[in-house]
Structure 1
Amino acid sequence: MRLLILGTGGMANTHAKHFSAIEGVTIVGGVDVDPGRVEAFNTAHDIPNGFGSLDAALAWGEFDAVANVTPDSVHHPTTIAAIAAGKHVFCEKPLATDHAKALEMTEAAERAGVVAMVNLTYRNVAQLQKAREIVQSGKVGKVRHFEASYLQSWLVSKAWGDWRTESQWLWRLSKKHGSNGVLGDIGVHILDFAVYGAGSDIDKVFCRLETFDKAEGNKIGEYDLDANDSFAMTAQLDNGALGVVHATRWATGHFNELRLRVYGEKGSLEVQHRHDWSKLFTCLGDDVETGTWSEIEVEPVPTNYQRFFEAVKGGNTLEPSFRHATNLQKVLDLATLTDRDRREHLVSA
């Protein structure tokens, strides 16, 4: 598979690292509107061809697939152009900034017959994969309740860098720069973490969003700091389970931590994932009577990068697909509406 990496910012380096390690994948080009950045990126990863635009790369055309690592608001037009050229697409999350655009991308990919997948990175967590397997096996019984959280602290700590002085972070805090805040950025991750682990999609949602004061006039240079910083959501799954989902960038002491708890009639499980480790605990069978929890050892699983390569090789889209990411985007859109309307919305409506 000949791969083009579109966008050469921070996350593009992760794509280059993972894809270059897969036998059968050759990264043939990098694309960025900043000539210096694409040159530095190509040099760092030994990539032979650089382009200043996707149009220029498509005119060249000597590649099979695109890793779309552009900012959120650019996903839609660039992905549509790549699909129209018959290229497979591996897109960063969120798929688009709203459900309508995500649906257009999905339907275009399905009509074209190209492989279209989204890099919901926490699918790479083996403990989450095992949790889903346990839930689907029936060992926890009918799921009744769940809790999911995504905690970050980069608005508090400088461990990630200083957003007050480093403009690379500021677009994530500004609506006019294409950000839907925590809800759009990491909300899509924790929603996927929850529905995948609990084995059921979301049916009803109610959400509250909050944007906190962060600078004088909530503005730094050209950036209005108006995107949401925290959200708290109640949700009901298709399987009837009721739960809570929340995320924030103000979680002091938590660099990057996801957690999922699933409670069933016969047992329960908990997945903990941090930047430096992952764990899975279960309370099943006779242990339910004593409240005894056991840690489960789990083998590594193929990454999304490997799965995309296998999907292209086999000619069939695997999960996480554009269609799945589009369904998640509908939940995100409705979450914003519920905050405005102060009432629950039905996802399937």
Structure 2
Amino acid sequence: MRLLVLGTGVMAKNQVANFLAIDGVEVVGAVDTDLVRLAEFADHFHIEKRFQTLEEAIAWGEFDSATNVTPDRIHHATSLALIAAGKHVFCEKPLAENYADALEMTETAEAAGVVNMVNLTYRNVAPLQRAREMVLAGELGTIRHVEASYLQSWLVSRAWGDWRTESRWLWRLSTGHGSNGVLGDVGIHILDFAAYGAATDIDHVFARLKTFNKAPGGQIGEYLLDANDSFTMSVDFTNGALGVIHATRWATGHLNELKLRIYGEKGSLEVIHRPDGSDLRGCFGEDIETAIWRDIEVPAVLTNYQRFAEAVRTGKQDDPTFRHAANLQKVIDLAIVSEKERRELNLLEASEQDSPADKRIPPLTVVV
């Protein structure tokens, strides 16, 4: 697979390191409007071909796939250009800023017959994959309740850098710079973590969003800090379970932690993922009476990067697809509407609602 890297920021470095570890993958070019950042990135990974625009890279054309690691609002136009050129696309999350754009990207990719995948990175967490297998095998019985949280502390900690002075963080706090806040940034991760792990989908949502004052006048330089910092959701799942999902950047003491608890009639599971590792615990059988939780061993799984490379090699589509990510984007869009209107929304009737971008939200295609 000959891979083009579009965008050479922090996440691109992580992606390329993973792609280069795969046999048969060659990173043949890189694109960035920032020439200094581009040179540093390309020098580090020994990438010869360097382009300041995607148009230049497409005109060159000596690649068959691309990873789109641009800011959120750039995903739509750049992915469509790549698809039009017949290139397979691996796109960072979220797929787009709204469901209408995400659906257009999905339908265009499907019509073109190119491999399309979204880097929902926590699919790489082996305990999550094993939890889903156990749910699908009926080991938990009927699922009744689901809890999921995504906790970060970079608004109170400098462990990853200082958001007050670094543009790579500041843009994530500003809707004017293409951010939908913590809901748009990591909300898609925890929604996928919950629904995928519990082997179901969301069909109703009621959400609350909160933006806290972080600077005098709510602004730092050109960045108006108006994107949401925290959200909570009450959701209904298509399997009949009730769920609570929340995320925040104010979780002091939690650098980057995802947690999922799935409660069923026969047993329960807990998945925890932190920067230093992942765990799966369960409570089953006689342990239910004494509330004893035991560790469950989990085999390694293929990463999104490995599965994308294999999909390109074989021409066989793999998950998570653009369509799946678009459906998650629909939940995010309606969560924003739910906050504004202070009411629960039914995703199956969402064609009657307006998205935050005043674009009609087509009916959801449920994909488990």
Report TM bin, short chain.
Answer: over 0.9
1:183 deviation in Å? 0.2
Q: Secondary structure at the match of 1:56?
A: helix
Q: Secondary structure at the match of 2:288?
A: helix
Q: Does 1:200 align with 2:200?
A: yes
The 2-side partners of 1:56 and 1:283 are apart by: 56
Report the number of matched residues: 349
1:265 aligns with 265
The 2-side partners of 1:154 and 1:242 are apart by: 30
Q: Secondary structure at the match of 1:203?
A: strand
Scaled by the length of structure 1, the TM-score of the pair is 0.99
CA deviation profile, 1:282-335 (whole Å, cap 9, x unmatched):
011222122111101111111100000011111121111101000000000000
The 2-side partners of 1:194 and 1:212 are apart by: 26
2:111 aligns with 111
The 1-side partners of 2:220 and 2:250 are apart by: 19
Which amino acid in 2 is paired with 1:241? Answer: A
The 2-side partners of 1:340 and 1:314 are apart by: 45
Which amino acid in 1 is paired with 2:194? Answer: A
The range that moved more, 311-320 or 89-98, is 311-320
The 1-side partners of 2:76 and 2:126 are apart by: 30
- 1:234-313 map, 5 Å: 234-313=234-313
2:343 aligns with 343
CA deviation profile, 1:162-217 (whole Å, cap 9, x unmatched):
11122221000000100000000000000000000000010100000000000000
Which amino acid in 2 is paired with 1:279? Answer: D
Which amino acid in 2 is paired with 1:214? Answer: K
Q: Secondary structure at the match of 2:285?
A: coil
The percent identity for this pair of structures is 65
Q: Secondary structure at the match of 2:123?
A: helix
The 2-side partners of 1:165 and 1:39 are apart by: 23
Which amino acid in 2 is paired with 1:306? Answer: Q
Which amino acid in 2 is paired with 1:254? Answer: H
Q: Does 1:227 align with 2:224?
A: no
The 1-side partners of 2:184 and 2:21 are apart by: 30
1:240 deviation in Å? 0.6
Q: Secondary structure at the match of 2:89?
A: strand
2:57 aligns with 57
- 1:81-100 map, 5 Å: 81-100=81-100
The 2-side partners of 1:321 and 1:19 are apart by: 18
Q: Secondary structure at the match of 1:348?
A: helix
The 2-side partners of 1:96 and 1:111 are apart by: 18
- 1:207-222 map, 5 Å: 207-222=207-222
Scaled by the length of structure 2, the TM-score of the pair is 0.94
The 2-side partners of 1:109 and 1:168 are apart by: 29
1:36 deviation in Å? 1.5
1:183 aligns with 183
The 1-side partners of 2:234 and 2:46 are apart by: 47
The 1-side partners of 2:128 and 2:45 are apart by: 31
Which amino acid in 2 is paired with 1:95? Answer: L
The 2-side partners of 1:21 and 1:171 are apart by: 31
The 1-side partners of 2:238 and 2:166 are apart by: 42
1:79 aligns with 79
**Runs of 4+ off more than 3 Å:** none
Which amino acid in 2 is paired with 1:44? Answer: H
Q: Does 1:148 align with 2:148?
A: yes
Q: Secondary structure at the match of 1:63?
A: coil
1:342 deviation in Å? 0.5
Which amino acid in 1 is paired with 2:168? Answer: Q
Which amino acid in 1 is paired with 2:88? Answer: H
Which amino acid in 1 is paired with 2:117? Answer: M
2:6 aligns with 6
Mark the runs of 5 or more structure 1 residues left unpaired by the alignment.
Answer: none
Q: Secondary structure at the match of 1:150?
A: strand
1:134 aligns with 134
